[in-house]
Amino acid sequence: MAGIVARGVGKHYPLAKTDKLALSNVDLNVQDGEFICLLGPSGCGKTTLLNILGGLEPASQGTVRFTGVGDPRRGYMFQEPRLLPWLSVRDNLRFVLDQRTRSEALDSWLKRVGLGGYGDYFPAQLSVGMQQRAAVARALITEPEVLFMDEPFSALDELTALRLRDELLGLWHERRCTVVFVTHNPLEAVYLADRVLVMSPSPGRITQEIRVGEHFPRPRELEDAALWRLSRGVVGLLMGEGALT
């Protein structure tokens, strides 16, 4: 199992005239098995930070290290499903595993994300919501110790997003992997997270920490008035810092 420690992380992108400073001096601790949400306005550097934490992009300054033994297995999910269009849904799952993995094992995962019977379909034959379900299965089938998720549900209709959030929480509850989840949706953040880290507008820094887990035990209710009030408070926080988009 694994946690994450980031110290003094900065990022600048070299541009033709001046460098773009995307992140400035980010310190972060994520505990093993913790579910954290990075929340902030569009363009504040959430994706940049997630990619640096996940090892997909180098930092310009600072360090990121994993706690625990060795290099943890990592899983990724993005705003778009990013399935390989020329492979069936079943073969998209097989692609991230041993190629000899038996179809029954893959199909049981498809069933768990509500895609039982769709193994032979190609991505283009499924709705985006169904494709994103397949992406959830693909991210979790490798049994990651740390899961990095970049606005995975924000392109979905709200009903599908509601279901997928609960499915994700169910799977996380079973496996207790560490999750870093990026969103610009305050209600989603307080519903999902043990801890919400609020980022400032660009250049992104972590300006607030909301320890949701201390006040809202799980399972939570999305209709819980206190949770709504908290999310409204977070909106206010963000409005003070910059507009939500």
Could you tell me the smallest distance in angstroms from the CB atom of residue 231 to ligand ADP? Answer: 19
The reply to whether 88 sits near Mg ion by the rule CB under 5 A is no
The region of 45-53, 92-100, 156-164, 201-209 touching Mg ion under the rule CB under 5 A is: 45-53
If binding means CB under 5 A, how many residues of this protein chain bind Mg ion? 1
Q: What are phi and psi of 213, to 5 degrees?
A: -60, -30
DSSP letter at 224? -
Whose Cβ is closer to ligand ADP: residue 20's or residue 232's?
Answer: 20
Q: What residues does 26 pair with on adjacent strands?
A: 9
Q: What is the footprint of ligand ADP within residues 38-97 (CB under 6 A)?
A: 40, 42-48
Cα distance between residue 176 and residue 100, in whole Å: 27
In the complex, the smallest distance separating the C-beta of residue 79 from ligand ADP, rounded to whole angstroms, is: 9
Q: Which stretch binds Mg ion (CB under 5 A): 42-50, 59-67, 165-173, 189-197?
A: 42-50
C-alpha distances in angstroms, 207 versus 39, 87, 184, 196, 199? 10, 43, 15, 11, 6
Does position 196 bind ligand ADP by CB under 6 A? no
Q: Specify whether the CB–CB gap between 197 and 206 falls below 8 A.
A: yes
φ/ψ of 181, rounded to 5, equals -120, 120
- DSSP strands (E only) in 102-157: 146-150
Q: How far is CA 218 from the centre of its chain?
A: 19
Q: Is 47 in the site for Mg ion (CB under 5 A)?
A: yes
Stretch that binds Mg ion, among 20-28, 47-55, 152-160, 224-232 (CB under 5 A): 47-55
Where on the chain is the footprint of Mg ion (CB under 5 A)?
47
Where on the chain is the footprint of ligand ADP (CB under 6 A)?
13, 15, 20, 22, 40, 42-48, 202
